[in-house]
Amino acid sequence: MNVILLGPPGAGKGTQAKRTAAAFGLKHLSSGDILRAERKAGTELGRKAQSYMDRGALVPDELVVAMMADHIARPDAAKGVLLDGFPRTRAQAEALDRELARMGNRIDLVIDLAVPDDDVAGRLTGRRSCPKCGAVYHIRFHPPKTDGMCDGGCGALVVREDDKEAVVRQRLKTYHEQTEPLIAYYREKGLLRQVDGSRSVDQVGAAVDALCRGAQ
Ligand code: AP5
Ligand code: MG
Condensed to tens digits (0 to 9), the pLDDT of residues 101-146 reads 999 999 999 999 999 999 998 899 999 999 888 889 999 999 999 9
Q: What angle do CA 115, 192, 107 make, to 5 degrees?
A: 120
Beta bridge partners of 138: 127, 142
Question: Which residue puts its alpha carbon closest to atom 12 of ligand 1?
Answer: 10
Share of the chain above pLDDT 90, in %: 93
Question: Which among 76, 36, 68 is positioned nearest to 163, based on CA atoms?
Answer: 36
Instruction: Give the Cα separation of 111 and 125 in Å (integer).
Output: 24
Secondary structure letter of residue 126 according to DSSP: T
In this prediction the pTM is 0.95
Question: Which among 3, 198, 16, 187 is positioned nearest to 114, based on CA atoms?
Answer: 198
Q: What is the mean pLDDT of the chain?
A: 96
Q: What local confidence, expressed as pLDDT, does residue 134 receive? A: 85
- Could you identify the atom of ligand 1 that is nearest to the CA of residue 171? 25
Question: Which residue puts its alpha carbon closest to atom 41 of ligand 1?
Answer: 123
Residue 205 Cβ < 6 Å to ligand 1: no
